[in-house]
Amino acid sequence: MIRTTKKLKAWTGILLLAATLMLAAPPADALYTVYSGQTLNITDDWSVDYWMENYGTVNTYDTYSVFINELKAALGIYPNVYNFENWYNYGSMSFYANPDSIYKFCNGVPTASLHNYGYFHNLILATVDIRGESYLRNYEGGTLWNDGTLWNDGTLKNWGTLNNWGTLYNAGTLWNDGTLKNWGTLNNSGTLYNAGTLDNEYFGILNNRSGTLYNERTLDNSGTLNNYDTLDNYDTLYNSGTLYNEDYGILNNYSGRLYNDGTLWNFNAGTLNNFARLYNYLYHTLNNAGLLNNAGLLDNAGLLNNDGLLNNTNTLNNAGTLYNAGLLNNCATPDNYYTTLNNAGLLNNDGLLNNSATLNNAGTLDNTGTLNNDDLLNNDGLLNNAGTLDNAGWITGAGTYNQTGGQTLNDGTMIQSLINIEGGTLSGTGIITGDVTIGSAASVMPGNSLGTLTVDGSFTSSGTLIFEIAGLAAGLFDVLDINGSATFEDGLIAFDFIDGFSGTAGDSWDFLFADVITGWDTLSFEIDGLNSGLTWGILDIERGKSLVLAEAQGVPEPSTVVFLILCIPVIVIAQRKLRAV
């Protein structure tokens, strides 16, 4: 039914509706069809429960409603509006169907709907409201332009072009199979399917609040995209603006490509799952403060900041800067034994890095936190440690290992061209292959805490060597076994009796082995935990040195004098200040 308050005047050029006449019966054909060249100006409230087609121009200035008339729907007459040319809305348009009506569908298709094949423009301050089982369809070749407010609580399907400069609220289903460009604000709290091109332009804001956004073709964000719920990408998501995956938001990159050419934030309680390809470009930033799971390929050429949890179970390539201040797990899974973290740039670990797969470093790895290696770490570049590096696997390569502070615990295998310990401690029961240099501010503590540390290469030290002793049997005292030359330059050797063991006269421990030992006379010695009735000395043995205990007496007995005389050529009697047991 069409209600007016003035007489209807119709002619070829313009069809005007002014307000004096109430029409209770369906009007003539001209009222339902606006022909090419005609203009229909709607200046008052309209309620349409029938069919309307526009091939000319329609201007709506007030309230325009399309709804189901139950009596006509029973006769197969449904309220659908078809625009084939130009429609300008300055007022308020509503399309709605009673959700309890048995006539809300016609052949499975929702009724009370707008079909646009031409140009539909919703102007500033105007409103289009699609409710319930209604829908708005913008077909291929059609353009839907919103400068006002477009509220969809039903179904909005776009096969043409939808330009939003105002506010588009979707609480129903928005299906884009054409081009959707947003310069304003697009709020989705329903379901948004993109099977075409969705461009969120430079000043645009796309909020996925309490709904789901499915991208099955191209989503191009150069504005701001805020995801508070679920964003699933199956094809191409290109971000050159700012993409915020907010707290409790879930961004899934399933089988597509996620390109970050702007800034991508994954917040504290957010989750970013990459099962395909994620690229972070040069000069751009990916910030993770939540959970980032990489089960695909993650290529970083820019800046990747991890302050949360980053799990890599496939391939992570860093050619830029990877800064870890949180927890980074590089771990193999039953589904993938070939998990790899490749660093050709700068990997700075200030948090915790656990490697139980393969970590290849061809750039610079700076560790000021904790690095636990339980599998394979290949270093062909520079590995700087000032934190804690715990190696129970393999560290291999032709690179340089440099430590300025902290500690290296090597219970596995470490193979490097040069191991330079300038500060901190080096300990463990593993094998080090390469030339080792110990600086004056560094300490070597063989064992963990007791055991043998093996060096296959030259060993040069001006630092401190600490040997712990808890008994006579193998494994109860520390040993440094050097398969190469040992050179000492004004360092210190200290012995520490632990676990209540203090030794007796005649006990000895072969604590140092090397092919050639030089600079021994430049060393100082200390001993801790030895009984006050004992003295000690260093005895030369084949390929090494042995610590020997003897009784300390004011006047040596003959046997003791003989022992000392016989040993003078080969033993250094280094009586120092003895600490109490």
Residue 564 to residues 231, 512, 556, Cα–Cα distance (Å): 82, 22, 10
Core vs surface per residue 322-346: b (16+ CB within 10 A) or e: bbbbbbbbbbbeeeeeebbbbbbbb
Q: Average pLDDT by consecutive 10-residue portion of the chain (581 residues)? A: 30 33 33 78 72 84 64 52 86 68 45 81 86 79 93 89 94 94 97 97 96 97 98 98 98 97 98 98 98 98 98 98 98 89 98 96 97 96 97 96 97 97 98 98 96 98 98 97 97 97 96 98 96 94 97 57 37 36 26
- Whether omega before 449 lies within 30 degrees of 0, making that bond cis, reads yes
Q: What pLDDT sits at residue 2?
A: 34
Q: What pLDDT sits at residue 23?
A: 29
Distance CA 302, CA 477 (A): 49
What six digits make up the tokens of 529?
A: 């935990």
Distance CA 7, CA 185 (A): 41
- The backbone torsions φ and ψ at residue 160, rounded to the nearest 5 degrees and listed phi first, read -110, -120
Which is nearest to 447 in space by CA: 471, 423, 463? 471
Q: What pLDDT sits at residue 520?
A: 98
Distance CA 454, CA 444 (A): 12
Q: What pLDDT sits at residue 20?
A: 26
- The backbone torsions φ and ψ at residue 73, rounded to the nearest 5 degrees and listed phi first, read -65, -30
Q: What pLDDT sits at residue 578?
A: 31
What six digits make up the tokens of 73?
A: 């729907």
Q: What beta strand segments (E) does 397-463 contain?
A: 400-403, 407-410, 413-428, 431-446, 452-456, 459-461
Q: Is-contact 121 87, C-beta < 8 A?
A: yes
pTM for the whole thing? 0.86
Query: In angstroms, how far is CA 265 from the centroid of its own chain?
Result: 9
**CB-based contacts of 96, cutoff 8 Å, min separation 6:** 65, 66, 67, 112, 129, 130, 131, 132, 134, 154
Q: What pLDDT sits at residue 83?
A: 85
- Strand 524-528 vs strand 571-572: parallel, antiparallel, or unpaired? unpaired
**CB-based contacts of 38, cutoff 8 Å, min separation 6:** 12, 13, 14, 15, 30, 55, 56, 57
